[in-house]
Chains A and B, each alone.
Chain A
């Protein structure tokens, strides 16, 4: 990739994740945008494209935000890709720059999710007076709970247990230990929704949601926003030494969807599209998993984190259990994973997540991560999955300037 084609993150921000009852999605999005612009050292007058995501609102979040931060008439793309929405927004801005349409792009994801409860899964309606087949399955009743589960904790529980069926070595305690790690990591992250250490015993004895996922093993619903300013490599060369030094190179920006697999109609396949994205990303960036100093991956449930060790090729195929048990993915290990606390403890305001995990990696690459800095971090990977499915994957590198 020539310097001409490179795209860099010039400024990035995430708000505190948690409960913001007094603020709406626009307030949160504006906070992230204004902070990202300030971090980049540019204003809305410089920005040539805006990509914005918000899943729980009524659409048009990009224009709603423009009306508070600057109506400059630039194109807006309102994007939606489930939990990969933030990563999709960023990639949309990156593509506009790669296409040569502009020098600066802005991406933002924002969600108000505190107290939202279970995502997906049908609320069972009162049974019809007469049984009437409806929809593509001709179902006479909502099938959630009668033909398997449609709720996320159960779907991802099945994904983790399936890995155990394939390779062995998986049990309740293993998954709880993964959660113990992420909750422990979050104690160093002041922006996390939860910063409490949790013992293995506490995690295992907490409320069971869908075996083997207890409540602290599920992503935390919360409010939050994240935004990033991206710039072309050519433009970056004209900016200040300080801007060049703090800029983070996007060595790969990949988006994949799930290709057809035999079982994908009954259990979403989050593996193949992640593996495909990882392969393409490593090729594009010219780095391998062994070059990574830290990884933020989509631990929407403890059962999901395990399979992504394998999908991202952080371990050998089938070796995720041994890899975790070796201690590799703790912040003190050889491949720190989710040092932010992950979705289980940092929180998961769905549209913001795909930019927030890139913010986390950028903080380390810029050596600005305070107490939880991974020493001498040069290359990092950020991964998200939106069920349905979409996988957003970014490889980021520290500036040589």
Chain B
């Protein structure tokens, strides 16, 4: 049994953690979830492709009020990773408007979410500012 497990199966761990998507072999539409068919062209063949680990902030919100058990505040963002849109938290910077700006450059970062009863460590991901804020 491996010692670590990603938060979602589209996060690939290892020396260079990165996200992967299911890319339609016909129209190149990309999806993070398990697919039955392509929502764009109805094709059923997909390749797994790596998503760029750096990107640009296209939108964000700072969530101050969430469901019970969700730690707030946190920054949710839409990131353009070289043409593939990704939703992730912005981490390793203060969750205040002054530290988050549109078009800022961000990169993938991972963190430990703790270990389970068998000692397996779950790894989460977010994006952090490329320049220290």
Give residues in A with beta carbon < 8 Å to B.
118, 121-124, 127-131, 133, 136-141, 143-149, 151, 153-155, 157-159, 161-162, 164-165, 172, 207-213, 260, 262-263, 265-267
Cα distance A132–B67 in the bound complex, in angstroms: 22
Contact residue among B32, B74, B77, B103 (Cβ-Cβ distance under 8 Å from A265): B32
Cα distance A50–B40 in the bound complex, in angstroms: 35
Q: Is the CB of B118 within 8 A of A136?
A: no
Beyond contacts A145-B89, A263-B85: 17 other A-B pairs, Cβ-Cβ < 8 A, are A129-B116, A130-B120, A136-B34, A137-B32, A140-B8, A143-B8, A147-B124, A148-B77, A149-B61, A149-B63, A151-B66, A151-B67, A153-B61, A157-B61, A208-B65, A209-B64, A260-B39
Q: Is the CB of A148 within 8 A of B8?
A: no
Residues in chain B near residue A213, CB distance under 8 A = 61
Shortest beta-carbon distance, B49 to chain A, in Å? 14
Q: List 15 A-B contacts (CB under 8 A).
A: A118-B66, A124-B68, A129-B116, A129-B117, A136-B33, A140-B5, A145-B71, A145-B72, A147-B125, A151-B66, A161-B61, A209-B65, A262-B29, A263-B78, A267-B78
Cα distance A4–B30 in the bound complex, in angstroms: 47
Cα distance A262–B31 in the bound complex, in angstroms: 9
Q: Give residues 28-77 of B contacting A (CB, 8 Å).
A: 29-34, 39-40, 58-72, 74, 76-77
Give residues in B with beta carbon < 8 Å to A.
5-10, 29-34, 39-40, 58-72, 74, 76-78, 83-89, 97, 102-103, 113-114, 116-118, 120, 122, 124-125
Shortest beta-carbon distance, B72 to chain A, in Å? 8
Shortest beta-carbon distance, B79 to chain A, in Å? 9
Shortest beta-carbon distance, B31 to chain A, in Å? 6
Q: Is the CB of B70 within 8 A of A161?
A: no
